[in-house]
Amino acid sequence: MAGLTPASALPVEIRLHKASRTLEIAFDDGARFSLPCEYLRVNSPSAEVQGHGVGQGVLQTGKRDVAITGVEQVGNYAVKLVFDDGHDSGLYSWQYLYELGRDHTARWQEYLAQLAVAGASRDPAAH
């Protein structure tokens, strides 16, 4: 997928699959991503997750079973995802969703490595 440019791509379809807990998003340049709810939750663009400055992010743990209960469009540039753990403050811009899709494998491996270093778990009962 090298060469994909998230800055100009616009979504043409966004579909929430509740049973598989994934958000499928298709862009006008032909890119299509299926993003797990857990992945979207732990990569929320909110200050609660990202912090208020470089290096101030908060590692999200125990989110393996999280689900999205709502997808609300915000203007023509983003969606607000509502999660069943009460989190709803992240605005996912089209560009950010594209980047999350494009970089899914690398970001997920980085997240799993951070959990391992912290001795933390994806499982709700363990955090």
Q: What pLDDT does residue 5 have? A: 58
Instruction: State pTM to two decimals.
Output: 0.91
Main-chain dihedrals φ then ψ at residue 56, nearest 5 degrees: -105, 15
Distances from the Cα of 85 to the Cαs of 3, 38, 49, 50, 67, in angstroms?
A: 36, 11, 14, 17, 8
Task: State which residues of the chain have pLDDT below 50.
Answer: 1-2
Q: What pLDDT does residue 1 have? A: 43
In whole angstroms, give the CA distance from residue 28 to residue 84. 30
